[in-house]
Amino acid sequence: MHWSLVAFCTGVGLASAENGLNGWLRYASLPDNLRHRSASVPPMIVALNTTETSPVYTAGKELQAGIKGILGRSVDISHDFPSSHNSESPCILVGTAAAYNAKYGSANLTSFTTDGFWLSVKGNNVLILGQNERGALYGAFEYLSMVAQGNFSDVNLLSNPDAPVRWVNQWDNLDGSIERGYAGPSIFFSNGAAVDDLTRVSQYARLLSSIRINAVIVNNVNANASFLTPANINGLGRIADAMRPYGVRLGISLNFASPQTLGGMNTFDPLDPTVDAWWDNKTDLLYQRIPDMAGYLVKANSEGQPGPLTYNRTLADGANMFARALKRHGNRDGNGGIVMFRAFVYNNHINETDWKADRANAAVDFFKHLDGQFEDNVVVQIKYGPIDFQVREPTSPLFANLFNTSTAIELQITQEYLGQQAHVVYLPPLWKTVLDFDLRVDSKPSLVRDIVSGQRFSRGLGGYAGVVNVGTNTTWLGSHMAMSNLYAYGRLAWDPALDPQKMLEEWTRLTFGFDRSVMDAVTKISMASWPAYENYTGNLGIQTLNDPLTHFGPNPAAQDNNGWGQWTRADRQGIGMDRTVSNGTGFAGQYPPEVAKVYENIDSTPDDLLLWFHHVNYTYHLRGSGETVIQHFYNAHYAGAETAQTFATQWESLRGKMDDERFNDILFKLKFQAGHSIVWRDAITGFYHNLSGIPDSTGRVGHHPWRMEAESMMLQGYRLVSVDPPETASNGTAIVTTSNSTAGSAVAKLPDDFKSGQYDIAIGYFDVIGGRAHYGAFINDEPLEEWIGDLEDKLGHAFSKKLDGSSATRITIPGIKLEKGDVLKIVGAPDGIEQAPLDYIALIPANANMVD
């Protein structure tokens, strides 16, 4: 390699705030024991950019800031080619391969694909060349990631993306709210317009570019036509400007009826030339302001959204109208505007009494016959499973039914059905079940990841869309731990063959540093989290049994008897959807024959999808463990909740190994998860126990040996209420204060046969939106603990206005000495509509082997 340089700039280090704002880009000072080879990091940076908005310029600044933070060294930046070649003058040279070649003519460009980069570290010389400017920035981040992890080895790495589309979707609204967002209001919009201060937008783009995400759809799929007013187009332009230095392009979600609702026309028929012209005009205006716009995302004829079917036009007619409008603006930088057209089209008024009705069939039914009819800049965006981001779903069969249409997989980083960032759930193992799934199209290897990358069916486009929904909370997602999901999403979109645990370890080092015990705990908790969550929320492929409104806590009965089609078909005898061709909805037949055969036959269906494909009696024996379905439900829910109890305990052992701010924040959430996993366990096991009438062979379900129901205590200023659904409260009932302003108390005296000793005191209560009740626990009138029903503040969002499985929660006061005759008292002071609701108190003996 031949280069050298001259350069004079001052370096500025990043403040190492530990509120999460810098995510995995903290550039924390490297510990001394890892610095011994750091002398090889060159003392100068040459950034071959042409403008200050170029990602190459950003790369130079980022390298400078990173080296300052990690190694404490100030490194100058030059933007000129070194006048002479002198390998004695080491530097980090970053630029596009084309710029480098124009001067030195020695980089091989043929091996690059769009956004790819080459990173060469040879002793004191670092060369980072991008296929384009974005690629150069990716290479700089790769180098910084190595340095931040204490890796100073020589490398010669050519890295190309697996797929061109590596987008994130934000479901932000103009008023600043975010659909299914759990981290506060929007960083993009507020009060009907783009926010004035776009600092957070740039910071988000920085994080995204470091994981090689190349575009953001900035608004909700349930789109508002007002995004297309002149003022809002300008606002979108400002957002695009803020992200451009990071190589992140802007795209928007469209509302199909905009020509009518915003344009005042009497139609939005996609085949009407005046409608076409309206969209052309809007597209022109957008490109005038945002010349590198990434494209459009369209949710049409889904969940009440307008679409082409209203006019008896096909979904392809609708998609192509936008595709043509985008094509008028050419193919910039190999990245012309794309229409991401969602396959999430289904009828939400289907009838459960029809045994053959099945929402899961919808995507293939709606799209298969349109294969080949889409313009070449349309990508059909398909959720990973046929229903909706459930804890376990089979791979969407639509991936195996479109051969002449580009496709992308839609994953969800925001944990809508998976604990809403209040539960730790590390998602890549779930995503990998789909990405690595072999659909055996034409009996040939057909991994989903090779279909969406375009390789399997030779498509030029395709890739990844991740629903992220970051908000203004400094942790971005509302939880430090949830950021591993965003990190891994970007890495997988670039290289889906990566190993979930390896990505996690990388993220952990970058986020928390090098302490071995931190690495072990984060790894153990994260890798156990999805299986545990599946165990306590909905196993054997029955889906996540969430409340249909909040999508958070348990409400198993509510899955059925509605038109939404997320049915379990549970009755007194059995449970599960028969999706066979022979006797059910026929869904299994949407897969290619080799796969269809596996699912059609109950004996070859994997246990974890048993109830997705088959309706069986509760007494059916599983292939794997031999347990009955119902006993497996009981066992799995107890096992899942038990695993969740260990998370907080493991975390406790890390006290002092990181900053208090993050340590405490994570600990609080893990304790919440421990409590809420018990709410889940009790609700689901209680519900099916009641429905089936089949006892738990180990006697746990329905028996709470150490619980005292709040309603059985001596009450003053409290009254009994029924909870709906009943299984989300111990004994189906709770107590609330009789007035909205006066405190109530619940008192119990420990009986004579009470065994004195050490106990964990667990208190089940409800924390609803709309008030911050105050609670105090006393023993013999001595204060023991006080707390506030303020999860809406502590978790960053609230779950429910009423007493149910989403507001049910519990705290544990560990290691308390109790004696017979002690008087326990809980005093609850209501606030607003939160009438200090209490469910039960459990006195769990120390060293008990079960959490009651």
Distance of CA 387 to the CA centre of its chain: 16
Count of residues touching ligand GCU (by CB under 6 A): 8
Q: Quote the longest CA-to-CA distance of the chain.
A: 92
Under DSSP, is residue 746 helix (H, G, I), strand (E, B) or coil?
Answer: strand
Of 384-403, binders to ligand GCU (CB under 6 A) are 388
**Is residue 179 at the binding interface for ligand GCU, with CB under 6 A as the rule?**
yes
Q: Which is nearer to ligand GCU, 206 or 423 (CB)?
A: 423
Q: Which is nearer to ligand GCU, 76 or 388 (CB)?
A: 388
Nearest approach, Cβ of residue 545 and ligand GCU (Å):
15
Contact by Cβ (8 Å): 532, 676:
no
Q: Which is nearer to ligand GCU, 303 or 499 (CB)?
A: 303
Alpha-helix runs per DSSP H in 653-779: 660-692
**Is residue 818 at the binding interface for ligand GCU, with CB under 6 A as the rule?**
no
Q: Contact letters (x/-) for ligand GCU, 403-432, by CB under 6 A?
A: -------------x----------------
Nearest approach, Cβ of residue 809 and ligand GCU (Å):
22
Of 220-249, binders to ligand GCU (CB under 6 A) are 221-222
Q: Which is nearer to ligand GCU, 555 or 812 (CB)?
A: 555
Nearest approach, Cβ of residue 339 and ligand GCU (Å):
16
Nearest approach, Cβ of residue 74 and ligand GCU (Å):
47
**Is residue 85 at the binding interface for ligand GCU, with CB under 6 A as the rule?**
no
d(C-alpha 835, C-alpha 827), whole Å = 11
Among 504, 505, 506, residue whose Cα is nearest residue 484: 504
Q: At what angle do helices 230-243 and 273-289 cross, to 10 degrees?
A: 40
**Is residue 310 at the binding interface for ligand GCU, with CB under 6 A as the rule?**
no
Is 303 among the catalytic positions?
A: yes
The CB density around residue 826, as the number of other CB atoms within 10 Å, is 24
Q: Which is nearer to ligand GCU, 416 or 709 (CB)?
A: 416
Backbone φ and ψ of 782, nearest 5°: -85, 130
Nearest approach, Cβ of residue 417 and ligand GCU (Å):
8
Among 350, 375, 401, residue whose Cα is nearest residue 296: 375
Q: Is 514 exposed, middle or buried (0-12, 13-18, 19+ CB in 10 A)?
A: middle
Is 388 among the catalytic positions?
A: yes
Active-site choice (388, 711, 727, 767):
388
- Kindly report whether the peptide bond that precedes residue 783 is cis, defined as omega within 30 degrees of 0: no
Q: With helix as H, strand as E and coil as C, how does 176-241 read? A: CCECCCCCCCCCCEECCEECCCCHHHHHHHHHHHHCCCCEEECCCCCCCHHHHCHHHHHHHHHHHH
**Direct distance between the N- and C-terminal alpha carbons of the chain, in angstroms, rounded to an integer:** 66
Active-site choice (416, 727, 760, 804):
416
Nearest approach, Cβ of residue 222 and ligand GCU (Å):
5
Q: Which is nearer to ligand GCU, 26 or 299 (CB)?
A: 299
Q: Which is nearer to ligand GCU, 165 or 763 (CB)?
A: 165
One residue of 279, 341, 344, 672 binding ligand GCU per CB under 6 A: 344
Nearest approach, Cβ of residue 413 and ligand GCU (Å):
13
Q: Which is nearer to ligand GCU, 18 or 416 (CB)?
A: 416
**Structural tokens at position 743:** 């405190």
* Cα distances (angstroms) measured from residue 540 to each of 337, 566, 587, 592: 41, 15, 17, 23
**Is residue 180 at the binding interface for ligand GCU, with CB under 6 A as the rule?**
yes
In one-letter notation, the amino acid at residue 87 is: S
Nearest approach, Cβ of residue 382 and ligand GCU (Å):
11
Q: Contact letters (x/-) for ligand GCU, 679-718, by CB under 6 A?
A: ----------------------------------------
**Is residue 299 at the binding interface for ligand GCU, with CB under 6 A as the rule?**
yes
Distance of CA 63 to the CA centre of its chain: 29
Is 416 among the catalytic positions?
A: yes
d(C-alpha 370, C-alpha 754), whole Å = 71
Of 519-538, binders to ligand GCU (CB under 6 A) are none
**Structural tokens at position 98:** 């084309």
Q: Which is nearer to ligand GCU, 388 or 839 (CB)?
A: 388
Nearest approach, Cβ of residue 437 and ligand GCU (Å):
21
**Structural tokens at position 212:** 């090689």
Side-chain half-sphere CA neighbours of 258 within 13 A: 25
d(C-alpha 564, C-alpha 95), whole Å = 52
Contact by Cβ (8 Å): 77, 60:
yes
Contact by Cβ (8 Å): 242, 248:
no
Active-site choice (303, 786, 793, 819):
303
Enumerate the active-site residues: 303, 388, 416
The footprint of ligand GCU (CB under 6 A) covers 179-180, 221-222, 299, 344, 388, 416
